[in-house]
Structure 1
Amino acid sequence: MLPTADQGIMCITLCQSLTSTFTPIYLVRLDERTGNVFILAGDSIEIDIYRNGRWRFL
């Protein structure tokens, strides 16, 4: 399974926003069970990016 184009664009946008505030990004991973991209950053930031490009904090 590959990430969608919408997920890729949103992932880059969110990662750029995180790093512009000097927040370290520890993990970016495609969850093969759900198809969502997962980002782990900073002390407690967890983000899920859905296949349609929408995202939410966990």
Structure 2
Amino acid sequence: MPTAEQSIRCVVLCQSLTNTLTPIFIVHLDERTGNLFILAGDNIEIEIYADGIWKFL
């Protein structure tokens, strides 16, 4: 299960992506690292850490 911080950040980021009409293809929780991964648009890759901090890959 994602942390509360990850969940909130994921919703905020997904809302921002869809507001710009960017399709979201995958939202996945990596069980090895505990990080959330978002794949969107042509080449947007985002990783969200357990504390809610995120970065583009």
How many percent of aligned residue pairs carry the same amino acid? 68
Distance 1:44 1:34 in 2: 22
Q: What pairs up with 1:3-42 in 2 under 5 angstroms? A: 3-42=2-41
Name 1:50's counterpart in structure 2. 49
Deviation at 1:36, TM superposition (A): 0.2
Letter aligned with residue 35 of structure 1: G
Aligned residue for 2:26, secondary structure, equals strand
Q: CA RMSD in A?
A: 0.2
After TM superposition, the runs of 4+ consecutive aligned structure 1 residues lying more than 4 A away are: none
Aligned residue for 1:53, secondary structure, equals coil
Q: TM-score, normalised by structure 2?
A: 0.99
Deviation at 1:28, TM superposition (A): 0.1
- For structure 1, the residue ranges without an aligned partner over 5 or more in a row are none
How many corresponding residue pairs? Answer: 57
- For structure 2, the residue ranges without an aligned partner over 5 or more in a row are none
Q: TM-score, normalised by structure 1?
A: 0.98
